[in-house]
Structure 1
Amino acid sequence: MTAPMVEQIIASHTDCGHVTEGDLVTAKVDRVYLQDGNSPTICRLFERYGFHGVFDPERVAIFFDHSVIAPDKEIAARLREAQAFARRLGVKVYAAGEGISHVVALEEGWYEPGSLTVGSDSHTCTGGVNQCLALGMGASDCVAAMVTGEVWLRVPGTVWLDVIGTPSSNTHSRDVAFYILGRYGQSPFLYRSIEWMGGWFDELSLDACATVANLGVELGAKCAFLPAGKNRSSMLRPIHPPAEGDPRRLKVDVEGLPPMISRPNSPQDVVLIDECKGTAINYVFIGTCTNGRLDDIAQAASVLSQGKVKAGVQCLVTPGSKKVFLEAIELGYIEALIRAGAIISPPGCSACLGTQGSIPATGDRVLSTMNRNFLGRMGNASAEIYLASPLVAAHAAIKGEIPSARELEQWR
Structure 2
Amino acid sequence: MTQELKAGLPLAEQIIAGHLAGEDGPVEPGRLVTVRPDRVYVQDGNAPTIAKLYEQHGFTTVFDPERVSFVFDHSVLVADVSMADRMKEAEVFAARLGVDVRSRGEGISHVLAAELGWFALGTLVLGSDSHTCVGGAFGSLGLGMGASDITAAMVTGTTWLKVPETVEVRLTGTPERGARARDVLLTLLNEQGEEPFLYRSVEFNGPWPRSLSGDASASLASLGVELGAKCVFVPDEAGTIPTGATAGLREISFDISGLQPVVSLPHLPAKIAPLSDAAGTPIDYVFIGSCTNSRLEDLAEAAATVDGHRVRFGTQLVVTPGSLRVYRQAMRAGYIDTLLSAGAVITPPGCGACVGTQGPLPARGDNVLSTMNRNFRGRMGNPEANIYLSSPVVAAITALLGAIPAVEDLV
TM-score tier after normalising by the smaller chain length: over 0.9
Match of 2:31 in 1: 23
Match of 1:198 in 2: 206
- TM-superposed CA distance for 1:17, in Å, is 5.3
Match of 2:85 among 71, 77, 87: 77
Change (3 A) 1:32 1:247: closer
CA–CA separation in structure 1 for the residues paired with 2:308 and 2:293: 21
The CA RMSD measured in Å over matched residues stands at 1.3
Scaled by the length of structure 1, what TM-score is found?
A: 0.96
- TM-superposed CA distance for 1:282, in Å, is 1.0
Match of 1:141 in 2: 149
SS class of match (1:290): coil
Match of 2:115 among 107, 118, 124: 107
Alpha-carbon contact 1:63-1:95 (below 8 Å) kept: yes
Alpha-carbon contact 2:203-2:233 (below 8 Å) kept: yes
Match of 2:17 in 1: 11
Residue 300 (structure 2) pairs with residue 294 (structure 1): no
What are the superposed Cα offsets for residues 237-278 of structure 1, whole Å, 9 maximum, x if unpaired?
4224346xx782111111121111100100010121111011
CA–CA separation in structure 2 for the residues paired with 1:107 and 1:247: 32
Match of 1:53 among 53, 61, 77: 61
- TM-superposed CA distance for 1:71, in Å, is 1.1
Change (3 A) 1:247 1:133: closer
CA–CA separation in structure 2 for the residues paired with 1:321 and 1:16: 41
Q: Tell me, which stretches of 5 or more residues in structure 2 are unaligned?
A: 1-6
What are the superposed Cα offsets for residues 91-129 of structure 1, whole Å, 9 maximum, x if unpaired?
100000000000011011101111110000000000111
Match of 1:178 among 179, 182, 186: 186
Scaled by the length of structure 2, what TM-score is found?
A: 0.96
Match of 2:327 among 306, 317, 325: 325
- TM-superposed CA distance for 1:362, in Å, is 0.6
Match of 1:155 in 2: 163
Match of 2:51 among 20, 34, 43: 43
The residue type equivalent to 1:197 in the other structure is N
Alpha-carbon contact 1:54-1:148 (below 8 Å) kept: yes
Match of 1:126 in 2: 134
Percent of aligned pairs with the same amino acid: 53
Give the count of matched residue pairs.
403
Match of 1:359 in 2: 361
Residue 245 (structure 2) pairs with residue 241 (structure 1): yes
Alpha-carbon contact 1:396-1:403 (below 8 Å) kept: yes
The residue type equivalent to 2:10 in the other structure is P
Match of 1:394 in 2: 396
CA–CA separation in structure 1 for the residues paired with 2:334 and 2:120: 31
Alpha-carbon contact 2:137-2:221 (below 8 Å) kept: yes
Alpha-carbon contact 1:242-1:249 (below 8 Å) kept: no
SS class of match (1:217): helix
Alpha-carbon contact 2:319-2:345 (below 8 Å) kept: yes
Change (3 A) 1:134 1:82: same
CA–CA separation in structure 2 for the residues paired with 1:101 and 1:171: 27
CA–CA separation in structure 2 for the residues paired with 1:356 and 1:282: 18
Alpha-carbon contact 2:203-2:244 (below 8 Å) kept: no
CA–CA separation in structure 1 for the residues paired with 2:38 and 2:209: 27
Match of 1:189 among 183, 197, 204: 197
CA–CA separation in structure 2 for the residues paired with 1:306 and 1:323: 26
Match of 1:349 in 2: 351
What are the superposed Cα offsets for residues 320-371 of structure 1, whole Å, 9 maximum, x if unpaired?
0000001101100000000000000110111001111111001100000000
The residue type equivalent to 2:144 in the other structure is G
